[in-house]
Amino acid sequence: MAIASNLGFPRMGAGRELKVALEAFWSGKTNEAALLETAKTLRRNHWQLQKSLGITQIPSGDFSFYDHVLDTISMVGAVPPRYREAGLADGLATYFAMARGAGGAIAMEMTKWFDTNYHYIVPEFAVDQTFRLASTQPVDAFLEAAALGIHTRPVLLGPVSFLLLGKMEGGASPLVLLDRLLPVYEAVLAKLSEAGADWIQIDEPMLALDLSSDARTAFATAYHRLGRLSERLRLLVATYFEGLHDNLPTAVSLPVAGLHIDLVRAPHQLDAVLEATPSHLSLSLGVVDGRNIWKSDLTRVDALIKKAVARLGADRLFIAPSCSLLHVPVDLDLETGLDAELRGWLSFAKQKLQEVAQLTQAVTTPDAFSENRQAIAGRAASQRIHVPAVAARTAAASPALLKRQHPYPERERAQAARLGLPLFPTTTIGSFPQTPDVRAARAEFKSGRQTQAQYDGFLRGQIEHAIRFQEEIGIDVLVHGEFERNDMVEYFGEQLAGFAFTKNGWVQSYGSRCVKPPIIFGDVSRPAPMTVAWSQFAQTLSPRPVKGMLTGPVTILKWSFVRDDQPLADTCNQIAFAIRDEVVDLEAAGIGIIQIDEPAIREGLPLRRAEWKGYLSWAVDAFRLSTSGVRDETQIHTHMCYAEFNDIIEAIGAMDADVISIETSRSQMALLSAFTGYQYPNAIGPGVYDIHSPNVPTRADMAMLLKKALAVLSPAQLWVNPDCGLKTRRWEEVKPALIEMVEAARAGRACLAKMPKACA
């Protein structure tokens, strides 16, 4: 009989218990013992839940206090020297310092986990890098579960993917370190074997990407060494997020006992995989979507499983989600506020494991899916999904809608005349701290304890405070602070047709940061203006320009649970038209600078290069559709964060935003390398203040970063801003940091005026 399996479970808890515990610990309100106890309780509850749902192979080691890549960095002792130099020893202090910065040591770089909205900590490797078994966390977790009577399948991030996810000083390939790293993995596997483990899940998501011949050789080298333990341990190599394609021969030739494939993202690969699977290899079929919240079509999935059973037999099969369930909320049962029809279309982590168990049992039980078939058919036939007027507008879009009136040089002159900004204009990305008072007022308003008038009055006070502060310290382009917004996507989704919302549908983004993605279930349109009134109010408070703040169509698409019944490009264009309507209304209301954030452009890039051109074409067009309805003198900004831009720099240029702001401070401006070979024509604000760290940067820190930026950019191009929005920070951190940022910009202007060659 096929085995019901899981690759990973959400860490935060259904009530975000880990988030609460982490933030209490970081603020000094609780101690380490309390944090560890919360984590232990969550692990126990999650293991017991999975067992009760009928999952046979339950993962352990998938829990993390911050990030599983950071866990691996700690496990193999790859802690960058600056943390030792700052006096930090092993343990949680060093672990959190790597993630958040501490003691003057800056945090490690963070970027997106493949094409998801989850962020991982980027490993840093040196030429003389050494590794050691510095943490036995995978073994400890296995023993902890065993003490509860639950036999688990430990999860490790594989050695080749771990190296390829990192960065090597000098730009060399981290794969040169493989021989030094493998003894640590051998030691971990030996300890797991001694502890009683039998199956070990080793995640190698890089096997689903375009690989060099050196990388394929590295996989062969690594697993021929690790496979020596195969008499005691059975290794399952897990791939996900894409098909194996040309890496299939490499994957099936590894001396391991099992291989996991993603049949949600790449169902077409099943025939080729079955044909290539050797007789000793078991297959784990990722047939339940681990990244979206729609109920599985169990009849369709069962057909894939039966094809595999016919070829391999049920005993060689695992039935599983496509990837870790880290990317979906915990439990649909908590969503009592959703209407019955929509709720019947959905499936969260708990329900997905019920689907896995049902599919496993259906291998021997005929016609087990009648209820599921009714739900799938009901969704397909629902009249709330399709709106003919929206579809007609999207279909009628013409190339003329994608172009501004004139090229950037002409727009630049018109904007300079209107705005009168100095060299190195300063601004922020949009949001200011969402204090406990702000969150409490929002909660009181939503619960009915505050009237609309009371809540609006509170928000006006917050906006005025933010405007006055920015004026006082001398910021050139102001923002209203976004105090009315719960989330940069959810806020807009709440005002757009075609969206639905959950109360407890939280998903981890990074560390303790959780988001509650909207659900795009139908055609999207804008019934009424969404931001105009607050932007217009803020602009009345100051003679300085105040930016209108919007989220772009690709980011709204990527950071939502998106409908799966039409092409992504179609849904994105519907959102783009809605944003275009808002942009035009903001301009008509007198807003001279409008920022449309697109941090998810790079995240949405397909994992296989052959598909990049098609994606970038519709993604760039959607941005241009949303922004091109304004006059030359209206300045369009966009913002992107935590991404490698080298691969898409020409597409970023094609977006034709007047100003782009990007995250660069954690990488010490290294991400600007993308702009050395490509002469970006418009203006750029490389972030000089890492807002994801509690560290307050000094004026000297930011001046140094600006000087690095001027090695790549011309002074006329350069804007000065933080890396990202400031909503997660405290005013006590934000105020001194922004004061220093403004002074660093002023110092740069003065230096250029006196010694242009020395400062540029």
Active site residues: 692
- β-pairing, 3-4 vs 124-125, is unpaired
Q: CA 638 to CA 159: how far, in whole Å?
A: 37
- β-pairing, 683-686 vs 659-662, is parallel
Q: CA 135 to CA 132: how far, in whole Å?
A: 9
Q: What angle do CA 162, 113, 603 make, to 5 degrees?
A: 140
Q: CA 480 to CA 522: how far, in whole Å?
A: 31
Q: Which two tokens stand for residue 234?
A: 């059975």
Amino acid at 268: H
Per-residue 3-state assignment (H helix, E strand, C coil) for 303-341: HHHHHHHHHHCHHHEEEEECCCHHHCCCCHHHCCCCCHH
Identify the CA nearest to 630 among candidates 595, 580, 596, 572: 580
Helix (H) or strand (E) holding 180: helix 178-195
Q: CA 556 to CA 552: how far, in whole Å?
A: 6
Specify whether the CB–CB gap between 594 and 636 falls below 8 A: yes
Q: CA 87 to CA 580: how far, in whole Å?
A: 52
Identify the CA nearest to 165 among candidates 221, 223, 217, 205: 205
Q: CA 525 to CA 571: how far, in whole Å?
A: 10
487's CB contacts (< 8 A; 6+ apart) are 515, 516
- β-pairing, 519-525 vs 497-500, is antiparallel
Specify whether the CB–CB gap between 327 and 290 falls below 8 A: yes
H helices, E strands: number in the chain: 29, 21
191-to-133, 136, 151, 186, 232 alpha-carbon distances in Å: 11, 9, 16, 9, 11
Specify whether the CB–CB gap between 432 and 482 falls below 8 A: yes
Q: Where are the beta strands (DSSP E) in 470-606?
A: 497-500, 507-510, 513-515, 519-525, 548-551, 593-597
Q: Which two tokens stand for residue 6?
A: 């899981």
Helix (H) or strand (E) holding 660: strand 659-662
Task: Please report, to the nearest 10 degrees, the dihedral formed by the alpha carbons of residues 639, 645, 648, 650 taken in order.
Answer: 80
